[in-house]
Amino acid sequence: MNEKELIKKAQNGDKPALAKLVKEQEKTVYNFAFKICRNPEQAENIMQETFLSMVKSLHQFDGKSKLTTWLYRIVSNHCLMAYRKKKNQFLSLDDKEVSVEHKISNDWTAIPSNAIENNELKNILDKAISKLTPDYRIVFILRDVNGYSTEETGKITNLSVPAVKSRLHRARAFLRDEINEAFKK
């Protein structure tokens, strides 16, 4: 059964179809929430809130976009609301608990000096990303990490294409300055 059929069944009250949709999107939603809020516990909470929102408003999903695009918008909104409530609780990736996709697994990293350099660069980049406000972090992650187009990012974040481009430009400039500053030390 394809995703559209599952969505239609779930919209008509089919609980197994809804459960399957949640199960299929669980990792995607958690990883995106983690990338934004940088806290495993908070990402778990946002994932749960996202799926509650999905269940409550699935009847409004019109199928004009992908389900993941719609869910990314919900995750973004929940992350921004959480950020506004507790501005100082967005943590960096320096925490010990980091998702699997954040670990470097290329063969050439096995060389000790390369591993040290890669780890140092990763730490600098993670610290710089964690300093971005969630508004800029969301756009940066959607475009440069997840590879969504400017138009898709705009739909997910409910921003115009020029606003996405502006936030992305500012995020990249900020990250470039932070990385340059780190290398001067």
pLDDT tier at 94, thresholds 50, 70, 90: very low
Q: pLDDT tens digits for 52-82? A: 999 999 999 988 888 998 999 999 888 888 8
pLDDT tier at 115, thresholds 50, 70, 90: low
Q: How many CB atoms lie within 10 A of CB 49?
A: 18
Residue 78, classed as helix, strand or coil, is helix
Residue 182's pLDDT is what? 82
Query: Does position 150 have pLDDT exceeding 90, yes or no?
Result: yes
CB 125 within 8 A of CB 176: no
The C-alpha angle 162, 168, 171, rounded to 5 degrees, equals: 140
Return d(Cα 101, Cα 74) in angstroms, integer.
Answer: 22
Residue 163's pLDDT is what? 96
pLDDT tier at 96, thresholds 50, 70, 90: very low
CB 67 within 8 A of CB 3: yes
Give the mean model confidence (pLDDT) for residues 132-143. Answer: 92
- Average pLDDT taken over every residue of the chain: 82
CB 157 within 8 A of CB 142: yes
CB 125 within 8 A of CB 168: no
